[in-house]
Amino acid sequence: MAISSDAHRPLHQFYYYYFIFMIYCLLCFTVTMIGASNNRNKVSALYVFGDSTVDPGNNNYIRTAFKSNFEPYGRDFANQVPTGRFTNGKLGTDFIVSYLGLKEFLPPYLDPNLTNQELITGVSFASAGSGYDPLTPTLSELLREGARKLGVVGLPPMGCLPIMITFNSNNALLERGCVDMFSSVARNHNLILQNQLNFMQLNSSMSTGAKIYYVDIYEPLSNMIHGLDDNNGGFDEVDSGCCGSGYIEAAFLCNRASHLCSDASKYVFWDSIHPTEKAYYNMYLASRHVIDILVNA
């Protein structure tokens, strides 16, 4: 999306278009590949492709503005280390590899200190701001490379992201409800995605025996925001992030100078775009039945 260079355009409009671009880069679909084996755990490796929601620090090693390897990111991670994850602690993929018994955290592929053991048990290739790749060619390539169990994640309710509310509310301070115009785009996208995955499943199962499953994060995140989640556990803030004002901060705008909430577990969002560790954990719990189906398929 082009950003106007008109000097007379209000600054808030510049930020609006900048963050719209950023959101569509950061919230593109993610693909998870689970490699099966005959070992006791039934899974030998987990490989992840996607955006900032599953980037554990690949962007630390490339030239980009989309970084989070600085405080306050990682405030609740082990030893309070800012690893490059766009949250206060673990990502959903960290909970998955731990559940599968592979390792405690899923490392970034670009980490120069990766061991061979880390590589063969799984890494994340995800990169924040990586943009959108056509689905069918991407999955087809993974299948050609030997992937046999894939989970494809849909979009979240984008109209409920704090930054989307801020730039689209009639009163960003007092009217903090979800903007359904954007959430409806995500719902339509997810329906189309599911249909496409079902079609690909029919074709691939006959030729390769691959299993392709859709992983829903829209409903779990929406339920947390609207207080309908069984694992809610008491989210007090659902329309603003823990970092800064919670309305616009993300990436470099969420930094050491930003005010922070005292308890991120009371927030659905860490910054104005990305969920907290607790929200990621709840989404992982909501998708665990799909993980089990993939493992046992």
pLDDT greater at residue 55 or residue 206: 55
CATH number of 12-296: 3.40.50
pLDDT at 259 over 70: yes
Better-predicted residue by pLDDT, 90 or 7: 90
pLDDT score at 5: 36
Task: Judge whether residue 295 has pLDDT over 70.
Answer: yes
**What six digits make up the tokens of 271?**
């910054």
Backbone angles phi, psi at 199, to 5 degrees: -65, -45
Longest dimension (CA), the chain: 64
- The model's pTM is 0.88
The sign one gets for the Cα dihedral 116, 33, 52, 269 is: negative
Contact, 226 vs 159, CB < 8 A?
no
Q: What is the pLDDT of residue 265?
A: 96
Percent of all residues in the chain with a pLDDT value above 70, rounded to a whole number? 84
The per-residue pLDDT for range 15-48, each reduced to its tens digit, is 444 344 334 333 443 444 445 444 336 788 999 9
Q: What is the pLDDT of residue 232?
A: 54
pLDDT at 6: 40
CB-based contact 216:222 (threshold 8 Å): no
Using one digit for the tens of pLDDT, what is the confidence trace for 100-123? 999 999 999 999 999 999 999 999
pLDDT category at 7 given cuts 50, 70, 90 is very low
Instruction: Give the tens place of pLDDT for each residue, 240-253.
Output: 999 999 999 999 99
Contacts of 152 by beta carbon, 8 Å cutoff, 6+ apart? 29, 30, 31, 32, 135, 139, 193, 197, 212, 213, 214, 215
- Annotated catalytic sites, by residue? 52, 271, 274
pLDDT at 17: 40
Task: Specify whether the CB–CB gap between 221 and 268 falls below 8 A.
Answer: yes
Read off the pLDDT band of 132 (50, 70, 90).
low
Q: 97 with 90: CB under 8 angstroms?
A: no
What is the predicted pLDDT for the residue at 239? Answer: 98
Q: pLDDT tens-digit profile of 140-181? A: 888 888 888 899 999 999 999 999 999 999 999 999 999 999
Is pLDDT at 217 greater than 60 in this prediction?
yes
The Cα-based distances of 139 to 69, 102, 134, 136, 215 in angstroms read 30, 24, 9, 5, 15
Model pLDDT, residue 250? 96
Q: How far apart are the first and last CA of the chain?
A: 41
Confidence category of residue 225, pLDDT binned at 50, 70, 90:
very high
Instruction: Lowest mean pLDDT of 145-149, 189-193, 235-239, name the range.
Output: 145-149
Phi, psi of 13 (to 5 degrees): -70, -35
